[in-house]
Amino acid sequence: MDLGIHGKRALVFGGSRGMGRACAQQLSQEGVQVTIAARTLATLEQAAAEISAVTGNPVQVVVADIATEAGRDAALQACPAPDILINNADGPEPGDFREWRVADWHAAIDAMMLGPIEMIRRTVDGMIERKFGRIVNIVSRSVKTPQLELGLSNGARSGLVGFVAGLARQTVRHNVTINNLLPGVFATDAQRRHIRGMLESTGKSFEQLWEERGSNTPAGRYGQPEELGALCAYMCSAHTGYMTGQSILIDGGGYPGTF
């Protein structure tokens, strides 16, 4: 299927590793002019070179932290008028809410809610003028099935999803859609960090937890970043203009409900 987005411009946060990188590669494969943003230049440059080697298309990099205004400024200087925006960053550490202070909540909200909302605010009107826009937030299954050890994620990400539910209905008549992807367990650095954060509270080894989390899904395995990258590229395609405000699980069947 031709996704119909050849020549569009995409700004992909968290595009140097994991699922963000897979989204960037799939978009580049479709002939999209991709800019990847993250906080570390070395991994950005490596990812850009590797993606370009596969797709044959140049990939621009920008050092930019989505959680800060300076970072968002830098990203928009590099890619001033994106047609496609992928909001994505780190998730929080697992923990007990009794130990979190207001500063911890502010950091979580900056990265997982306000950073993405600010990026939407600064790009959506240009998309509306150009009559094409695709905004995809990489969120988490935690907004549908709360993860007990991930209270910061359950809370902050629900704020983003709740906000865009209203906005998405106002932009869609201009062919600008806003949707959320909700990954379950994926084999990435973030998953490894998450498991390391659970070693103490569970008393289990890394290997044991890694094995359990993958095999406990109905699919019996971890998701691969490329699987989410392909879904993301489709959500950014010319074919999804009638689909907005949706939160789409990609979790190997982990969500237990019928609807």
Ligand X SMILES: NC(=O)c1ccc[n+]([C@@H]2O[C@H](COP(=O)([O-])OP(=O)(O)OC[C@H]3O[C@@H](n4cnc5c(N)ncnc54)[C@H](OP(=O)(O)O)[C@@H]3O)[C@@H](O)[C@H]2O)c1
Residue 34 lies near ligand X (rule: CB under 6 A): no
Residue 158 lies near ligand X (rule: CB under 6 A): no
Contact pick of 29, 88, 137, 179 for ligand X (by CB under 6 A): 88
Residue 27 lies near ligand X (rule: CB under 6 A): no
Residue 82 lies near ligand X (rule: CB under 6 A): no
- In terms of Cα–Cα distance, which of 36, 143, 137, 156 is closest to 93? 156
Size of the site for ligand X (CB under 6 A): 29
> CA 67, 70, 74 angle in degrees (round to 5)?
105
Query: Strand pairing partners for 248?
Result: 181
Residue 12 lies near ligand X (rule: CB under 6 A): no
**Long-range pairs, 188-193, Cβ under 8 A, ≥24:** 188/17, 188/18, 188/19, 188/225, 189/17, 189/18, 190/18, 190/90, 190/91, 191/222, 193/93
Residue 183 lies near ligand X (rule: CB under 6 A): yes
Residue 132 lies near ligand X (rule: CB under 6 A): no
Closer CB to ligand X, 128 or 248, in the complex: 248
Closer CB to ligand X, 63 or 243, in the complex: 63
Contact pick of 55, 191, 237, 244 for ligand X (by CB under 6 A): 191
Closest separation in Å from C-beta 230 to ligand X: 14
In the window 134-153, what residues touch ligand X (CB under 6 A)? 138, 140
Binding site residues, ligand X, CB under 6 A: 13-14, 16-20, 37-40, 43, 65-67, 88-91, 111, 138, 140, 183, 185-186, 188-191
